[in-house]
Copies of this chain bind each other. A is one copy, B any other.
Amino acid sequence: MTIQATLIDELAVMLGQGGLLTDIDDMARYCVDWPGYRGGAPLAVARPATTRQVADVVRYCHRHDIPLVPQGGHSGLVGGALPDGERPELVVSLERMTAVRDVDPINFTMSVDGGCVLQSVKDAAEAVDCDFPLSLGAQGSCQIGGNVSTNAGGLNVLRYGMMRQLVLGLEVVLPDGRIYNGMKALHKDNTGYDLKQLFIGAEGTLGIVTGAVLKLFPRPQVSRSALLACPSVAAVLELYALARRSCCDLLTAFELVPRTCLELAMEAAPDLRDPLDAPAPYYVLMEASASGPADLDSMIESLFERGLETGRLTDGVLATSEAQAGNLWRIREAMLEGQRNRGEHLRTDVSLPISSLNTFHERATEEIGTLCPQATIIAYGHIGDGNLHFNILPPPELGPDERSSLLHELEERLFEIVADFDGSISAEHGIGRFKQTAFLETLSEPEYDIMRGLKRLLDPRYLISPGRILPRPVE
């Protein structure tokens, strides 16, 4: 038997029936992420059923110098959880660790396994009249451990923050196989360095998140949606500041939709009607919601009044039924569909100070237009988060190589503009492997030194998710 075969044998014994997959067909689905990105062939796929088993596997890998990569629901966008093709890795999937350990509607907390699917967490919250507000397109498959490790954002960040704001405690298997037990359900705790912060957003490079204590909120009982028409991005930004006031910070969404995107949506969904009589250059799709007797209609009407008075708003419609609200939100879905129909394009996920979004938008539109006049810009986003998806559809006539090199050039230019505005090249998606080159260019020397120091402190041999976020040291 080869050494590798021995290792795999020992892991199989450790994990028991169904705990280790080694067949190529069985392992195929662990090598693909949702957008279709593919990784290399793994050594094997470990499917531990308990935190103890995760610790056993990691300790074993530590002892035998086997690199490993933790996996959640395969919905990452930067290749962080895909097995490396060059240096085979053991995939550690948390898919068998799906328990909701405890729900506490008085403390407004829930304790769950790292492999628990986001939708199950949301369902368990709803069962006690609470809400776990993290909402993502992938919520039916993504796992809490992955949400923690990528500091997931999604639709309700404006109101509830990113995942970091929703985590009170963590359980993490460290790269040496020891367990850090920080599963405390405390809303306040100032005892020493807050270690859980290290693992949130670390993309699995500092440990495997096997459990989390999450914050819950009262479940919204009422919600109202509206579409607003605005003359400019600057007006949209001022309207946002007004809306936070008028709606008493009960806003759950405030989305920028340029006219181009509305047209793209109507192209993709021909039954969709222009919701307003006259076209406007920009629209806002907004939603407010409340868990008790709040008069959201009055709040939104007062926003309409202030907006019309001050010329920041030219028209608007308040949905008075769930069906009407659903129709408004279909615009956003259809616009994404319309974008996908246009084939390969540049998708970005940048963030800026909200107050810079209009000047950033102007400058980026101008410079990208100069670089490639035939490109179509599709720039929409979460205004309240300063998060813009400034996407670019290349001219349709280009061949694959030309297209790819054009998109690369446009991305570089766009990221330079982002840097000029003190923005971020990755608001939500993270770094993983795909964004590493661009990311490393943004780091100052002290930042790089501390980040590398953190990695070395916890994983001196770069065995866990090696090469993600930071490159492996040259050997």
* A residues in contact (CB < 8 Å) with B: 104-109, 129, 150-151, 153, 157, 161-162, 164-165, 174, 178-182, 184-195, 197-198, 200-202, 217-219, 221, 237-238, 240-241, 244-250, 290-295, 298-299, 302, 351-356, 382, 384-387, 422-431, 439, 442-447, 450-451, 453-454, 457-458, 469-470
Asked whether A249 lies within 8 Å of B187 as measured between CB atoms, the reply is: no
Nearest B residue (CB) for A355: B106
- Chain B residue contacts of A248, Cβ below 8 A: 218, 248, 250, 290-294
Q: Chain B's nearest CB lies how many Å from the CB of A85?
A: 23
| Copies of this chain present | 2
The residue in chain B whose Cβ has the minimal distance to the Cβ of A219 is B245
Closest to A454 in B: B193
B246 and A293 form a contact (CB under 8 A): yes
A192/B451 in contact, CB under 8 A:
yes
Residues of B within 8 A of A299 (CB): 292-294
Contact between chains at B447 and A195 (CB < 8 Å): yes
Can you pick out 5 interface pairs between chain A and chain B where the beta carbons lie within 8 Å of each other?
Answer: A174-B446, A185-B353, A187-B354, A194-B200, A217-B244
- Say which residue of B193, B202, B353 sits within 8 Å of A109 (CB atoms): B353
Q: Which residues of B contact A218 (CB under 8 A)?
A: 244-245, 248-249
Inter-chain CA distance A187–B294, complex, in Å, is: 27
B290 touches A384 (CB 8 A): no
Chain B residue nearest in CB terms to A358: B106
Which of B295, B351, B443 is A188 in contact with, Cβ under 8 Å? B351
- From A104, A244, A425, residue with most partner B Cβ within 10 Å: A244
Additional 16 contacts, C-beta under 8 A, given A165-B165, A180-B444, A187-B385:
A106-B240, A107-B354, A107-B356, A151-B190, A186-B352, A186-B423, A188-B386, A189-B424, A191-B425, A193-B198, A193-B450, A198-B450, A292-B302, A450-B457, A450-B458, A454-B457
Inter-chain CA distance A109–B201, complex, in Å, is 23
Q: Which of B182, B188, B422 contacts A427 (CB 8 A)?
A: B188
Indicate if the CB atoms of A202 and B193 lie closer than 8 Å.
Answer: yes
**Is there contact, CB below 8 Å, between A187 and B241?**
no
Of B174, B187, B194, B447, the residue contacting A201 (CB under 8 A) is B194
Contacts A108-B241, A351-B189, A355-B107 given; indicate if A453 touches B457 (C-beta within 8 A): yes
Cross-chain contact A197 with B197 (CB below 8 angstroms): yes
Do B106 and A354 touch (CB < 8 A)?
yes
Name the contact of A291 in the complex, choosing from B164, B245, B352, B446 (C-beta under 8 A). Answer: B245
- Cα distance A351–B153 in the bound complex, in angstroms: 28
CB <8 Å contact, A193 and B451? yes
Question: Could you tell me the distance in whole angstroms from the C-beta of A232 to the nearest C-beta in chain B?
Answer: 14
